[in-house]
Structure 1
Amino acid sequence: MAPSMFARILPLLLISRALSAPLPAAVNGTKYLFVFGDSYTSTGFSITGAKPSAANPLGNPSLNKLNTMSGGLTWPGFLATQFNTSLTYAYVFAVAGATVDNSIVPAYSSSVPSISDQVKTWTTNLQSRPSYAPWTAEDALAAVWIGVNDVGNSYSQSGEEARLNKDLDRYFALLGTLYTGGIRNFALLNIPPTQKTPQMKGQSNVASLVSAITLWNSQLLTRVTAFLTSSPEANITLVDTQEPWNTVIADPKSYGAPDATCVNANGKSCLWYNSYHPGQAIHKVVAQAVASALKGSFF
């Protein structure tokens, strides 16, 4: 018998507690983390390059030459190298600038692979469970952190609410594609408070940005319920990224930064890699939030 709907949704809310039963108990052995997103996630991974291994759980590039906008690891890298409880192979399909679908909310360039394109890459290369990634429904997790560019490219335009709702429809259709392909465990990260980035802080239209972020985040939970009705074997963990961001921004000195707005491309001496992208401290607390939400199941 399938678990009850509410037992299959595990939110990590602002009050940092779960509202439902935990996901199924973790399986032993190697785990597979399939990650989709934008520059807040990307590592420079190419499916045609070296595959994740015990020596480098991110596959390619090498760990000391990652192509990230954090100055080092992004959150899936921390998950696979520091918060993993067993060997975790992370296939990070995320690409800087990505939106859910370029036909709905275009990225800055039509050549940027959207989540739709990233899922297609997964379907082509990994759905068949190749010998280098013999994943199962029990040991695989699909994680998605998207929406920053969708909202950022929409919030100041007319018809923004209808566009974002169409975008979210497509988002959950793509989750359906992954489900059809055999994925049963999902982690969905909401949009962080990007109005607090140095680039956005103090801008005159920031209230519109906050409103759009709120719309997106509230719709995630609403749509999860509908998705679980049509996908009876799915388990979905909703991870709040607002809380970890706010925690670090409120106390920058505890995380190695002199203040909450300085920028340094080393990703360590300031909270921000650049004016719109978090450094490693914020990525690490986001990873910790994901691991905590999935404690006892995937981590």
Structure 2
Amino acid sequence: MHSGDSYTSTGFNASLEAPSIQNPMGNPALGHYLTRTGEKTATDGINWLGHTVTEFNQSSILSYKFAAYGATVDNSIIPAVPKDLHYCKENAVWITTSSIFGIWVGINDVYISPEFDDSLAKISSTIQSYTSLLNDLYLCGARRFFVMNVPPISRTPAMLSNPVQHQVAVDQGTLNFNFQLELMVALWSNHHTKVSITINLDP
């Protein structure tokens, strides 16, 4: 199961065709992605998740994707789209021992946070909410996690068109978010010894 923002979103709808061995992505058809709000995916086609599930593996993976275009971790902290990060509340069938929960979120939090005077506090509150969401997943039975941090989004063409001050603020926000995320994951895993959780440490 995967949660996150437009970098992961494919427009998956839990009410439509479910993933299967014959069609591991479920819906929509591979390469024809539209988000729930009608925009195209970040790659304008097959994104990293589609390649990972259908090409770069030799096993059977069924992918349930609950990422939402423009999502933040918690709308009550950094408002964005109506749906923020969410997990086991969807009607997906999964088994604790064979399920991995991939989480890649925080990009929009970092991008939007400079709009607030208390941007650093916003990031700290966001990480606290992230912790609560991991706890919710754990209570649902999730035991295997893969967490991805925020990439250097200040290098993207869209970001390079912004004022330098905003680029610098986003760079600082990225470093701050990733540092706190890494620390949170380490502390959380220490208190949940039956959990397997991996975090990428790329900038």
Q: TM-score, normalised by structure 1?
A: 0.62
Partner of residue 192 from structure 2, selected from 219, 226, 231: 231
Larger Rg: 1
Once the 2 structures are TM-superposed, how far is the Cα of residue 172 of structure 1 from its aligned partner? 1.4
Aligned AA (1:114) = D
Q: Relative contact order: is structure 1 or structure 2 higher (C-alpha 8 Å, sep ≥ 6)?
A: 1
Deviations 1:185-213 (A, max 9, x none): 11111101111011112631111110110
Task: Give matches, 1:34-45, under 5 Å.
Answer: 34-45=1-12
Counterpart residue number, 2:141: 182
Once the 2 structures are TM-superposed, how far is the Cα of residue 72 of structure 1 from its aligned partner? 1.5
Counterpart residue number, 2:52: 79
Once the 2 structures are TM-superposed, how far is the Cα of residue 162 of structure 1 from its aligned partner? 1.0
List, as ranges, runs of 4+ consecutive aligned residues in structure 1 with deviation greater than 4 Å.
Answer: none
- Cα separation, 2, equivalents of 1:183 and 1:169: 19
- Equivalenced residue count is 195
Counterpart residue number, 1:20: none
- Cα separation, 1, equivalents of 2:33 and 2:118: 38
Equivalent residues of 1:156, 1:208 under 8 A apart? no
Residues 36 and 241 of structure 1, relative CA distance in 2, 3 Å threshold? farther
Counterpart residue number, 1:255: none
Once the 2 structures are TM-superposed, how far is the Cα of residue 156 of structure 1 from its aligned partner? 3.8
Once the 2 structures are TM-superposed, how far is the Cα of residue 235 of structure 1 from its aligned partner? 1.1
Give unpaired runs (5+ residues) of structure 1: 1-33, 127-132, 243-299
Counterpart residue number, 1:141: 100
Equivalent residues of 1:58, 1:77 under 8 A apart? yes
Give unpaired runs (5+ residues) of structure 2: 35-40
The percentage of counterpart residues that share the same residue type is 34
Task: Give matches, 1:163-202, under 5 Å.
Answer: 163-201=122-160
- Cα separation, 2, equivalents of 1:64 and 1:56: 13
Once the 2 structures are TM-superposed, how far is the Cα of residue 54 of structure 1 from its aligned partner? 2.1
Task: Say if 2:91 is the partner of 1:125.
Answer: yes
Q: TM-score, normalised by structure 2?
A: 0.90
Aligned AA (2:197) = I
Task: Say if 2:24 is the partner of 1:54.
Answer: no
Deviations 1:51-86 (A, max 9, x none): 001232111011142222212211111111012221
Counterpart residue number, 1:207: 168
CA RMSD, Structure 1 to Structure 2 (Å): 1.5
